[in-house]
Amino acid sequence: MFDKGEHGSYNFALMSVTLPPVLDAWRMVSSQRHFEGTLPLAAMPRLKQSLMDVDGECHYELDFGRHPLGHNVLQVRVKAALPLQCQRSLERFLYSVSVDQSLGLIRDEAQEAALPEGMEAVLIGDDGELHPADLIEDELLLALPVVPINPDAPELSPEWAAELDEPEDKPNPFAALAALKDRK
């Protein structure tokens, strides 16, 4: 059992182990397991589609335990610098992501209503099968901005819009047709 610490996070048993591709969430909760490490961005097929390139990695911490109210909890912390394309300058920039999410591990959808406010539900089968790398990738996908804009990119100059608004003295392409019509 663990309680919220002074910084609002839960205190978990400290034990870092290499992240397996599949684990039993219920066993991890009962043993209050802690996983910490890095994953390459190149190993995340769904995230790769949104990135400009796959250089880099993310640092993760996964803590399994029980909430003071008795809920099975997975605390997910992920930090990464994601290479995105700025939609203002069309140049590559690193978007800093820091996720700290409490996930309530539930066996059926009816349990979701009992979760504390701010805790997201993750439906886990009776077999407890959980793919932790997929969960980390999900959190990174959710952290992506809808329209990535580098805060250091220069502001667009409004001069280009004024140039488009000014009418140019171009000949009317239909003037020749009008002249032919008038001849009849």
Distance between CA atoms of residues 158 and 144, nearest Å? 28
In tens, the pLDDT along 142-174 reads 999 999 999 888 876 666 555 555 666 677 777
At 74 the pLDDT is 97
Q: Is the pTM of this model over 0.85?
A: no
Higher pLDDT, 25 or 167: 25
The confidence band for 8, taking pLDDT boundaries of 50, 70 and 90, is very low
CA neighbor of 44 nearest in space, from 144, 140, 147 = 140
In tens, the pLDDT along 107-154 reads 999 999 999 998 999 999 989 999 999 999 999 999 999 999 998 888
Distance between CA atoms of residues 76 and 140, nearest Å? 11
Inform me whether the pLDDT recorded for 7 exceeds 70.
no
Inform me whether the pLDDT recorded for 176 exceeds 90.
no
What are the boundaries of each domain within the chain?
A: 23-152
**For the residues 53-71, what does the mean pLDDT come to?**
94
Count other C-beta atoms under 10 Å from residue 154's C-beta.
8
At 16 the pLDDT is 44
